[in-house]
Amino acid sequence: MTDILDRLTPIFRDVFDDDDITLRPEMTAEDIDGWDSLAHIRLILAIERSLNIKFKSSELDGLKTVGEFVEIVRAKV
């Protein structure tokens, strides 16, 4: 999980314009300032572009934690 977190951290920092973000699997949108629905879409697009992957909308439904995000990314890289 750490390797994926390390790859996602700079993407989160860029999208949320916060160099102090340190991702943890249990983190939710409530833990990151500015993580609203629009930022969520920007985050998904940034991850797809950076990691050269594509998400299906069904994979993203109900995501609650960064750890769940990591598991979906892990299955694709």
pLDDT for res 62 = 84
Count Cα atoms within 13 angstroms, Cβ side, for 34.
11
Band of residue 1 on the pLDDT scale cut at 50, 70, 90: confident
- Is the pTM value of this prediction over 0.95? no
pLDDT (tens digit per residue) in 28-77:
999 999 999 999 999 999 999 999 999 999 999 888 899 999 999 999 98
> What domains can be seen in the chain, in order of their start residue?
2-76 (1.10.1200.10)
Taking the CB of residue 59, how many other CB atoms lie within 10 A of it? Answer: 16
Q: Which class for 4: exposed (0-12), middle (13-18), buried (19 or more C-beta within 10 A)?
A: buried
User: Residue 46, Cα to own-chain centre: how many angstroms?
Assistant: 9
Report DSSP state, residue 28: -
Band (pLDDT 50/70/90 cuts) for residue 2 is: confident
